[in-house]
A and B are shown apart, each in its own frame.
Chain A
Amino acid sequence: MSPLDIDELLSNPGIRIVVCCGSGGVGKTTTAAALALRAAEVHGRRTVVLTIDPARRLAQSLGLTELDNTPRLVPGTKSGDGGELNAMMLDMKRTFDEVVAAHTEPRRAAEIFANPFYQAMSSTFAGTQEYMAMEKLSQLRAADTWDLIVVDTPPSRSALDFLDAPARLGRFLDGRMLRLFLAPAKAGGRSVFNLVTAGFGMVSKTVQKILGAQLLSDLSGFVSALDSMFGGFRERAEQTYRVLQDPQTAFLVVAAPEPDAVREAAFFASRLGVDDMPLAGLMLNRVHRRVLPLDAESALAAAQELDGVSDLTADALRAHAAVALLEDRERAVIAGFSSEFAHVPVLEIEAQATDVHDLDGLRSIFA
């Protein structure tokens, strides 16, 4: 297991994007913010951090008071050497609106915005958040204003969703399938799919039964309004995907030293390998480390002896034993990952008593 040198990564001018991914609840957002802050303050880089859904107090400490999709300078950062830290929070709906507006004429755009199906899907569609995060990333990259973009990924069920959802959504929006299903709903519509459509009659009838005619007619309206931009969504999703394969991009998989999170990290690591995406390393948050090199069993045995003799020492030894047991278990979990991915450098961050919610807290993470 080789150690991950975060400073080498952040100071490398060839690295323009750092993507923090991993399953929910492992501290991705905090990690992303801490990396970006260090890049700006220690390595003098013009940095922007794109956060998805930061906890309230962390958002406040980054000066993020509103969801406005615009990078803003984070107050209170020390900007020597030309480095600066900007932060923004993803506004999923607004980003979607922007994509639509950019790809279609105003009248059509207005039609799309008014469509009930669009309204529902632009805020709840499975994968919309991932798609829009990628879209935003690609916009920031294209602007070329930043030395480094650090991205937090949406809190999905699986870390892989970040990679898969955009393509899935793109496929859907450009959907041959979508048109096939809707073809019979379009009265008298001349369709090149007519032959195929006959076979799909049963399918679309069933879909109609399940979803109801209203939904299909909204959907149909949505699709015909989107006609002008067919191809656009998939193309954009593919473009962003290529940005992620670029050697200027570095992926950091974030995990907690728990079996579930590490298993998820392992899935992600092998997936990145398959897709030729550059994995820079694994960050393990909230790792427990004993200060005293005493094993848990001896500590507990001694604690029992000391009950009534020195209660304070007995409890101190019990506190030590708990940390030591945690450490042993975590090491076993990490060893499982490292034996499979020996080439992936690992950085362990120790558990802190309190959550991080100010800049000093963020600074201390990599100090």
Chain B
Amino acid sequence: MVTGKGGVGKTTVAASLALALAAGGHRTLLVEVEGRQGIAQLFGRDPLPYAERLIATTPGGGEVRALAVDAEEALLEYLALFYRLGAAGRALRKVGAVDFATTIAPGLRDVLLTGKVKEATTRTDEQGRRRYHAVVLDAPPTGRIGRFLNVTAEAAKLAKMGPIKSQSDGVTALLRSPMTSVHVVTLLEEMPVQESLDAVAELRGLGIPVGKVIVNCARPALFPGVRKVPQTELKRGLAAAGLAADKATVVGLQREAQAYLARRDVEATLRDELTELGRPMVELPLRPGGVDLTALKDFATTLAAS
């Protein structure tokens, strides 16, 4: 599971992780549940259907498949599976019953989504081998992750028995087992870090295993040991490189350097707060030009090595 505050790059990290886990000829499944089609956008594809599609390969025959889970589709699939409702299920959708059922019970939506993830995780082939080496979920953001993963409590509020109850119990057992790990993605900015700290505390309280803390968009470590950037030195350097070394250029460059140093101090404090969580930390470098497949593969290498 990959969570983090909105906008920190959860999808990017989830995709990199799926690539990393596919290394060595494995097959992994990358899942999204929020209807954002973030995976398709990241890989420059058309919107994903509710089907597992090959989205990338790795050296050695590894495969990453992608799936955009839709709660309605999951409910219909579930009905077809347990109640043999095929065409009738589609009729349900037509009259709005599916929308109705998922609307009156928001917990139901989460049970269906996590239930689909569980199904993919535990699916086996004819020989009884697991279909997927790993399933990576691009999960809801930190603000909703506790409620999303705490399916039993949510479902129990609404359904005290019946299939929803047993379904959610199965999911809960898997989520609290060592097969699960929730990785938290953050930027070195105040709000994302605060939400990461809160989410880790919440997940720990729920007994759900917390994995790594992944710092995304980490900036290169520049100016080791430097606190001040004197203009005289910049003037000398610019001249040495054959660049304009007029007053405006020197002042401009100095302002940029000082802004970098100011941010570096803030980031150091935030990094310390994250370290105190006692979880392994990985940093993925900022790609100022944007993230493409090459970047994802580089991130995968970094994640695999961590």
Measured CB to CB, the residues of A under 8 A from B are 23-26, 53, 55-56, 116-117, 120-121, 124-127, 155, 157-158, 168, 172, 175, 177-178, 181, 200, 202-203, 206-207, 209-215, 219, 256, 258-261, 263, 290-292, 294, 296, 298, 302, 305-306, 309-310, 312-323, 325-326, 328-329, 353-355
Q: Describe B's contact surface by its main secondary structure.
A: helix
Q: What 1/0 flags go to B85-103 for Cβ under 8 Å of A?
A: 1001001100111001101
Chain A residues in 8 Å Cβ range of B35: 157
- Of all chain A residues, the one with the shortest Cβ separation from B167 is A210
Q: A200-B95, A316-B229 are in contact. List 4 more A-B contacts (CB 8 A).
A: A24-B6, A168-B103, A207-B100, A315-B222
Q: Do residues B254 and A126 form an inter-chain contact, with CB atoms below 8 A? A: no
Q: Do residues A219 and B104 form an inter-chain contact, with CB atoms below 8 A? A: yes
Q: A24-B7, A203-B92 are in contact. Are A312 and B162 (CB under 8 A)?
A: no
Please list 19 pairs of residues, one from A and one from B, whose beta carbons are closer than 8 Å in the complex, sorted by A's number.
Answer: A56-B194, A168-B103, A178-B104, A181-B97, A200-B95, A203-B97, A206-B92, A211-B101, A211-B158, A214-B159, A215-B105, A256-B7, A260-B36, A260-B38, A294-B249, A310-B236, A313-B241, A319-B256, A353-B259
Q: A23-B6, A309-B240, A310-B236 are in contact. Are A291 and B255 (CB under 8 A)?
A: yes
User: Counting CB contacts under 8 A, is B143 at the interface?
Assistant: yes
Q: Do residues A292 and B249 form an inter-chain contact, with CB atoms below 8 A? A: yes
- Of all chain A residues, the one with the shortest Cβ separation from B100 is A177
Q: A206-B79, A211-B108, A258-B7 are in contact. Are A355 and B189 (CB under 8 A)?
A: yes
Chain B residues in 8 Å Cβ range of A213: 162
Minimum distance in angstroms from B113 CB to a CB of chain A: 13
Q: Do residues A329 and B289 form an inter-chain contact, with CB atoms below 8 A? A: yes
Q: What 1/0 flags go to B190-208 for Cβ under 8 Å of A?
A: 1110100000000000000
Q: Which of B106, B194, B229 contacts A312 (CB 8 A)?
A: B229
Minimum distance in angstroms from A202 CB to a CB of chain B: 7
Q: Do residues A310 and B8 form an inter-chain contact, with CB atoms below 8 A? A: no
Chain B residues in 8 Å Cβ range of A306: 237, 240-241
- How many residues of B are in contact with the other chain, CB < 8 A? 79
Q: Do residues A212 and B229 form an inter-chain contact, with CB atoms below 8 A? A: no
Q: Do residues A212 and B256 form an inter-chain contact, with CB atoms below 8 A? A: no
- Of all chain B residues, the one with the shortest Cβ separation from A155 is B143
Q: Which of A125, A212, A313, A321 contacts B234 (CB 8 A)?
A: A313
Chain A residues in 8 Å Cβ range of B108: 210-211
- Of all chain A residues, the one with the shortest Cβ separation from B89 is A206
- Of all chain B residues, the one with the shortest Cβ separation from A292 is B252
Give bound CA distance, A309 to B190, whole Å. 36
Chain A residues in 8 Å Cβ range of B194: 55-56
Measured CB to CB, the residues of B under 8 A from A are 5-8, 34-36, 38, 41, 75, 79, 83, 85, 88, 91-92, 95-97, 100-101, 103-109, 140-141, 143, 147, 154, 157-165, 189-192, 194, 219-220, 222-223, 226, 229-230, 233-234, 236-238, 240-243, 249, 252-257, 259-260, 262-263, 266, 286, 288-290
Minimum distance in angstroms from B37 CB to a CB of chain A: 10
Q: Do residues A309 and B237 form an inter-chain contact, with CB atoms below 8 A? A: yes
Q: Do residues A210 and B190 form an inter-chain contact, with CB atoms below 8 A? A: no
Q: Do residues A312 and B237 form an inter-chain contact, with CB atoms below 8 A? A: yes
